Amino acid sequence: MIGPSPWWTGWRLTVALLAVVIAGGTSGYALIEGWGLWDAFYMTIITVTTVGYREVHPLSHAGEVFTAAFVMVGVATVLYTFSFLMAQVVEGDLQERWARRRRKRMLDDLTHHFIICGFGRIGQTVAREFSRQGVPFVIVERDAASMQEAIAAGYLAVEADASSEEVLQRIGIARARGFIAAVGTDAENVYAVLTARLLRPDLFILGRTETDDGKAKLVRAGADRVLSPYLIGGLQLAQTALRPAVVDFVQLATSSDNLDLNMEQVKIGDGAALAGRTILEANLRQRFGVIVVGVQRANGAMEFNPPPETAMQVGDFLVVLGQAKNLRELEAAAGQTTQVAR
């Protein structure tokens, strides 16, 4: 394990060396030439700074020898101190200032992004998946160490309270695509969800909970979906044990690593060419090469394996299976990019 740095490194060393040089020069002139402390100190300062003023008093031979040696040691120490301080400014404060400006510019440019509250195990998993799929997002984390860990991983992150209206406005909640409350406790998630819902009544909000009571509170606070990692993990284990082929197919269809097959959802937008037409009339299979797995109506009702005469209305989500390029063409015809279903 690496312990704390010794006290004689870094800025402590530079301060100590500079203090020793000034004290040594003052003492040397006082002892060798018999000067007062002020004259000795003044001579020391103008010598190590290479100002070049006249000597305070005429020097003896011993004083000249001392001055020659003192110039080499003192000037070297002052140059070292100056270079160290400049390095701290350039590499430390200035670099951090540039990093803050860059993060602010990136936050200002964010649009159609997700806000992830918390960078624990759940938040890290979500961030990795979003990064893998090229989905824009920003992380809000109260713990400074976790925030730095997110930045070190290459993610855009801010150290702040996710339940603060000012913070959410600063990270572009007005332009956000979704909000994920995944902090450590249900109480913190409830406050974060409530604040986000007040600022954006139309925003898709996903909450994480560990208890049934927490789920009910998150729903009342305004969450559209509430998930329990333990419940999902248990169901996944059960489904994998009972129906491994089905689980493998779903994972294959929903993974962006599979470039030949994707399962996506496409919303029918206002004024879209597909609005008001049936699946058969729109000729989705032949025109776009996709399979319509289901239709989620605007009221939340889900229709699985819809028949060809099923009409597509504004606000409906089509759950489709097909190649990525075909899905992009379908999105264009639907007048809407891929979104999260509510």
Q: What is the pLDDT of residues 139-191, one digit of tens each?
A: 999 998 998 899 889 899 998 898 899 999 999 999 999 999 999 888 999 99
Least confident of 14-18, 95-99, 125-129: 95-99
Residue with tokens 């976790």: 146
Least confident of 108-112, 144-148, 257-261: 257-261
Residues of the chain with CATH 1.10.287.70: 11-105
Average pLDDT of 246-258? 69
Q: Indicate whether 251 pLDDT > 60.
A: yes
Residue with tokens 């925030």: 147
Give the model's pLDDT for residue 88. Answer: 64
Per-residue burial over 231-264, b = 16 or more CB atoms within 10 Å of its CB, e = otherwise: eeeeeeeeeeeeeeeeeeeeeeeeeeeeeeebbb
Instruction: Retrieve residue 208's tokens.
Output: 């994480």
User: pLDDT class for 202, splitting at 50, 70, 90?
Assistant: very high
Q: Indicate whether 230 pLDDT > 80.
A: yes
Q: Give the rounded percent of residues in the chain with a pLDDT score beyond 70.
A: 88
Give the model's pLDDT for residue 113. Answer: 94
Q: Which CATH number fits domain 111-233: 2.70.180.20, 1.25.40.10, 3.40.50.720, 3.40.50.300?
A: 3.40.50.720
- Which one has a higher pLDDT value, 212 or 222? 222
- Mean pLDDT, rounded, of the chain: 83
d(CA 199, CA 192): 11
Average pLDDT of 308-328? 87
Superfamily for domain range 259-334: Regulator of K+ conductance, C-terminal domain (3.30.70.1450)
Residues of the chain with CATH 3.30.70.1450: 259-334
d(CA 9, CA 91): 17
* 315 Rama sector, left if φ>0, alpha if ψ -120 to 50, beta otherwise: left
User: pLDDT class for 340, splitting at 50, 70, 90?
Assistant: very low
pTM of structure = 0.60
The architecture that CATH gives domain 11-105 is Orthogonal Bundle (1.10)
**Angle at alpha carbon of residue 335, lines to 334 and 339, rounded to 5°:** 85
The answer to whether 208 touches 119, Cβ cutoff 8 Å, is: no
Average pLDDT of 253-271? 74
- Which one has a higher pLDDT value, 249 or 235? 235
Give the model's pLDDT for residue 102. Answer: 77
Give the model's pLDDT for residue 136. Answer: 93
User: pLDDT class for 1, splitting at 50, 70, 90?
Assistant: very low
Residues of the chain with CATH 3.40.50.720: 111-233
Q: Indicate whether 8 pLDDT > 80.
A: no
For the chain, how many helices (H) and strands (E)? 14, 10
Q: What is the DSSP string of 147-199?
A: HHHHHHTT--EEES-TT-HHHHHHTTGGG-SEEEE--SSHHHHHHHHHHHHHH
- Which one has a higher pLDDT value, 99 or 327? 327
Q: Indicate whether 90 pLDDT > 80.
A: no
d(CA 148, CA 138): 13
